[in-house]
A = this chain, B = another copy of it.
């Protein structure tokens, strides 16, 4: 059977998962392809670390990246090292040397994706990156190919397993953010420094990559407006439940007549929405388009084998293209103008929680401030905390964010309002 030579750069979580799947499912993969992808070299910085790994005959570790990039037999370079400096250097060199590249590197794609796609196209080779977002969920190929006939109007994703685990746990157990974060860290679901996850940065990188494809724009990480989950309180989650909502950290890209808005923030969604059933460390992307209406893609957003599955699917596709001498056929197409829409202008329904005086007439005063700002009220729950204090949980109708900022100002000036506790967006269905 015809063989296509493959090299891995890196042998960490994703690299070893990829290699393991290629070995375990070798026969199936060959039968399905009619061609055999064969890993001949694996670049690692320090081969001594892997002396306990037994490679099959015909596969070797090497500590020289030039030994890979200068090897003319190698047609596919699989970058699974991570980082953006050395990895970018290697990917660019490989593309310029006329080698196809498969990468799982989210940071690199969010920083330089459109540029690298152009470079691949110029060199007549493939650049594939299914594993760079949402782990085992096949979403990049889906957006390119399966949904290619659609004008996409909206992407809404649960794109970070750590924060979804934390919010699910807070919702199910009523526990507090700090407790659950500590538990997630103990279980290895959250890093010692959880910033990239809990502040929404990781989700923003994924949203940038997916939006570039779905909306044909050169979108980068810095184009996304980001807000994390560190201020989410279990009190709000409980009130949300009573209103029929579940809290999620969402990445939302929305095309409107005014432009494309790109946001990552916590939001309440209806308990009936398919994203509400995405629990624990699972990820999902919900897509609206003018053909499909709506669809959702759900699965494991991380992990050695799920992410390896996505890398292998790319290796298989490029192997097939190589065998058919049809690489470099993925024409990158981007509109020249990003046409972004300031997130502050997005209209939304809002949830607000106020601590107020527990006295007659307070609700009337609060309601009149809302009315002054032309904000309608959809639902209110009042809960008396003690003789002095009550909590008001309010759901507003859809209005611009500026109205909400104005009413918060007005509340802060109102003597009967002790504190504006939280303000959380509600996602429209």
Contacts and interface: CB of A to CB of B under 8 A. Distances in A.
Contacts of A292: 136-137, 299-300, 305-306, 309
A24 to B, nearest CB: 7
Interface residues of A, number: 65
Given A141-B141, A295-B297, 5 more contacts: A22-B149, A32-B144, A136-B291, A289-B309, A293-B299
Nearest to A27: B151
Given A150-B25, A276-B277, A32 B290 contact: no
Interface string A267-288: 0000010101111001000000
Contacts of A48: none
Given A147-B138, A294-B299, A333-B31, A278 B274 contact: yes
Given A32-B216, A293-B305, A298-B298, A149 B313 contact: yes
A317 interface: yes
Contacts of A305: 290-293
Contact of A309 (B24, B137, B291, B325): B291
A308 interface: yes
Chain A to chain B: the 6 pairs with minimum beta-carbon distance, closest first? A291-B309, A138-B146, A149-B312, A295-B299, A277-B277, A136-B292
A35 B34 CA distance: 27
Contacts of A145: 138, 141, 145, 313, 316-317
Contacts of A291: 17, 21, 25, 136, 305-306, 308-309, 312
Contacts of A381: none
A326 interface: yes
A22 B22 CA distance: 38
Contacts of A290: 21, 24-25, 305
Nearest to A273: B277
A308 B293 CA distance: 11
A329 interface: yes
A16 to B, nearest CB: 13
Contacts of A333: 31-32, 34
A114 to B, nearest CB: 15
Contacts of A150: 21, 25, 309
Given A136-B291, A333-B32, A25 B151 contact: yes
A296 interface: yes
A161 to B, nearest CB: 12
A148 interface: yes
Residue among A32, A149, A300, A321 having the largest count of chain B Cβ atoms under 10 Å = A149
